[in-house]
Structure 1
Amino acid sequence: MVRLIEPQHHLGLDDYEVFTHLSTAVRDLQREARTLGPLFEGRRVWMVNSTAHGGGVAELLPPMVTLMSELGLDTRWLVLDTDDDEFFRLTKRLHNLVQGQGDPTLGDAERELYEKVNRQTADEIAEYLSPGDVLVIHDPQPMAAGAFLRQTHDVVAIWRCHIGLDEQTPETEAAWQFLCTYAEPYDHAVFSAPEYIPDCLSRKSTIIHPAIDPLSHKNRELDVHKLVGILSAAELVEPTHPTPGAEFSAPARRFQRDGTWEPATQPEDFGLLFRPIVTQISRWDRLKGYVPLLNGFAELKAGLPGDLDDDDLPQRILDLTRLVLAGPDPDSIQDDPEAQEVLGEICDAYLKLPAELQDDIAIISIPMASPKENALIVNALHRCSDIVVQNSLREGFGLTATEAMWKRLATVGTRAAGLRQQIRDGLNGYLIRDPEAPGDVADVLRMLLGDQKRREALGHSAQQRVHNDFLIFTQIRRWLELIADTVND
């Protein structure tokens, strides 16, 4: 039921400090840790979530666990591991309800299932705990387990909720009525935006923004040869010369017109190294707005004249632009049972498009067999992109946008609360007015594709925004402060 995960993060603070643009943040973090150090003696922090790979939380935890331990706060990672598919279907429902979507009917059967798995989880977590330890529970899946343990053990318990909605609806009320039963025992809670905090946690909540690791495989700089090597190894481009890198354990796959999945170079090379590219990379989730983005791109293309003047550069750019919709292999994400269904809906929408428009769109499944290779593929796809979109209908925060902003890319989001925390409309990116309106999507893409200088200016401003507020050093400093304050109460 519970697995101890060894984080695959092999960088220490010295590795970051050698970079001039990161050194000040590293030294500030080290100074804060030395000040708070006495409060951490004899304690261990246990991070608990529902999956070791796939999604933002699983990516946040490895560098957090490693660097917090280096700073003197012994930190470990536990993952809820159950083969009960019905449990994950229920927690996916709760996830959607917190974000205002789905059937709000939750009864005794749902609570019985939820508590059964969480009590088993709590019993197994208890074997790892010592008096004075700090338990950090991430998201709704193991929330009840943390509440049960706080009532029976001498530990500090903090609940970290990565999702939310900035309005009350029947769906959110149903979700919080269900979850608030388990809120009272917690010492504190953490959210990504103040609008997300429910009444039951309003007096003991803190805002800590998620953050990215600038030297992770997903975010580090890639030189030209490394970029081409990754694309070749992942079968995203057709190599025309030998490359020094090793073959990947599994290639990326592209959806074909006949319903099969083949190398992304089929039926022909997609032109990632040559054409203007618009990209969205996220989980296969209805709330990520994939189908509306697909329809918006179709409307963009439909607005082009039949005969293009070779001297009309903006029109030629629009004509050459292609769209990449990418996400993880859905069979590899245990806690997201809807992923395969949603991917099927995206593929169905693609198959309804005219054949000539299908040629301009690639639906890519990114393998998850190797976390390193997965991250490098995402990085390479970003580096090939002129615009990165996160067309979310709801978004708890949206590290996919943060990652693109860090790479100096023109980033397009929506007015979902999490994306508004990051993107200042017109200053370091653009926000689509209505992500479900194809015309609104097409208008923003058309404007940005036609203005390279604006894209470059947005990208530079976006990177500075991330540097100031959304790097892992700021996030860890906030966590150290919160843990110190909580154990000192």
Structure 2
Amino acid sequence: MDDYLANKNVDLVVTHDPQPLLIGCCNLSLKVPRILRLHIDLSSPNQNIIEFLKPFIEVFEKIIVSREDYIPLWVKKNRAVTIMPAIDPLSAKNIRLPKINAWKILNRYGIKSGSPLISQVSRFDAFKDPIGVIESYRLAKKNISDLQLILAGIIEAPDDPQQQNYVKEVKEYVDKESGLFVFSDVKDLCGIANDEFINAVQTASDVILQKSLQEGFGLTVSEAMWKEKAVIGGNVGGIKLQIKNGKNGYLVNNFQEAAKLIVKLLKDNQLRSRIGKKAKETVREKFLMPRYILENLKIYDELLNS
């Protein structure tokens, strides 16, 4: 990386998250501003790890986080900036998809358009709590017998054995249960592009969950809200920036609370519609790409002209 950057006319370096953190320590001119963009929840970090990373973090002129309480305590206030993430409403994942088209896609996988559908779209790991989502579904299904659940999180990194093992654990927990669909491999999509598939899942769903136990932000929440969906989210991290409980969605602390809300929302079309409309308006006001780009450009301009 040193050699690569040495041969480039670099004006600004933006590093995302800890994995490529050492880029900030590369042999760059001192005149080149460095920005670290942290997407993860650092409200209660592992202190040994954060202390180990501290000298590598301190070389950056600016640190951008999604929530103010993610800023490490030792970072000076003038070096830290809070910028909430945003979605691109014109991307294949978020552009308007007629519901009839969404169901044409889902019908290919045996998902029934005549039955209520809930879903969670996220990578498969313990912090996203897919097991808790399954428990919520099973409990809600005692009241709504034809309820269906989609868990969708296509693994894009083939060299991630931890995620592969967790998917295996989830599938064993499901054990071919009727009405429950797990999508983790691009081959499962049978030629449908991942973003188009996710758009179809979110568009067709009656209620969407993001029952995370820890979440830096959770853009899947804003994606679902943009589609006027009632979202049930974990009462944690960045989800709380997007959902105001009972106004534009719901926050829960356990699978029992989630199950009660699933039943309540599926049995009350007017409530579901009202929450969905409030949700979309929230995203329109706060979580679309133009605002995000402008806030980042202001930081770039400040550093390049300081």
* Structure 2 length-normalised TM: 0.92
* Map 1:382-421 → 2, pairs under 5 A: 382-421=202-241
Q: CA deviation at 1:181?
A: 1.6
CA RMSD of aligned residues (A): 2.2
2:4 pairs with 1:124 = yes
* Map 1:114-263 → 2, pairs under 5 A: 121-130=1-10, 133-150=11-28, 152-166=29-43, 168=44, 172-203=46-77, 204-224=79-99, 226-228=101-103, 231=105, 236-238=106-108
State the one-letter code of the partner of 2:210. Answer: Q
What is the DSSP-based 3-state SS (H/G/I as helix, E as strand, rest coil) of the residue aligned with 2:238? helix
Q: CA deviation at 1:404?
A: 0.1
Aligned partner of 2:151 in structure 1 is: 325
CA distance in 2, matches of 1:427, 1:481: 32
Aligned partner of 1:270 in structure 2 is: 111
- Residue 174 of structure 2: which of 339, 345, 350 is its match? 350
* Aligned-pair identity (%): 31
8 Å contact from structure 1 (residues 210, 399) kept in 2: yes
Q: CA deviation at 1:370?
A: 11
Aligned partner of 1:469 in structure 2 is: 286
CA distance in 2, matches of 1:298, 1:122: 53
CA distance in 2, matches of 1:144, 1:195: 24
CA 1:165–1:405 in structure 2 vs 1: closer, same or farther (change >3 Å)? same
Q: CA deviation at 1:337?
A: 4.0
8 Å contact from structure 2 (residues 230, 249) kept in 1: yes
Deviations 1:188-224 (A, max 9, x none): 0100000111023243110111100111100011135
CA distance in 2, matches of 1:370, 1:199: 48
Structure 2 portions without partners, runs of 5+: none
Q: CA deviation at 1:228?
A: 4.7
CA distance in 2, matches of 1:125, 1:210: 28
Aligned partner of 1:380 in structure 2 is: 200
Aligned partner of 1:288 in structure 2 is: 128
Residue correspondences, number: 304
State the one-letter code of the partner of 1:383. Answer: T
8 Å contact from structure 1 (residues 432, 444) kept in 2: no
Tell which deviates more after alignment, 216-225 or 421-430. 216-225
Higher RCO, 1 vs 2 (CA within 8 Å, ≥6 residues apart): 2
CA distance in 1, matches of 2:274, 2:100: 26
CA distance in 2, matches of 1:199, 1:123: 34
CA distance in 2, matches of 1:333, 1:200: 34
Aligned partner of 2:265 in structure 1 is: 448
Aligned partner of 1:58 in structure 2 is: none
CA 1:404–1:122 in structure 2 vs 1: closer, same or farther (change >3 Å)? farther
Q: CA deviation at 1:441?
A: 2.4
8 Å contact from structure 1 (residues 402, 470) kept in 2: yes
State the one-letter code of the partner of 2:194. Answer: N
Q: CA deviation at 1:465?
A: 0.4
What is the DSSP-based 3-state SS (H/G/I as helix, E as strand, rest coil) of the residue aligned with 1:428? coil
8 Å contact from structure 1 (residues 165, 417) kept in 2: no
State the one-letter code of the partner of 1:279. Answer: S
State the one-letter code of the partner of 1:163. Answer: I
Structure 1 portions without partners, runs of 5+: 1-120, 239-263, 305-314
- Residue 425 of structure 1: which of 242, 245, 248 is its match? 245
* Structure 1 length-normalised TM: 0.59
State the one-letter code of the partner of 1:276. Answer: P
CA 1:163–1:122 in structure 2 vs 1: closer, same or farther (change >3 Å)? farther
CA 1:278–1:226 in structure 2 vs 1: closer, same or farther (change >3 Å)? closer
Q: CA deviation at 1:409?
A: 0.4
CA 1:224–1:449 in structure 2 vs 1: closer, same or farther (change >3 Å)? closer
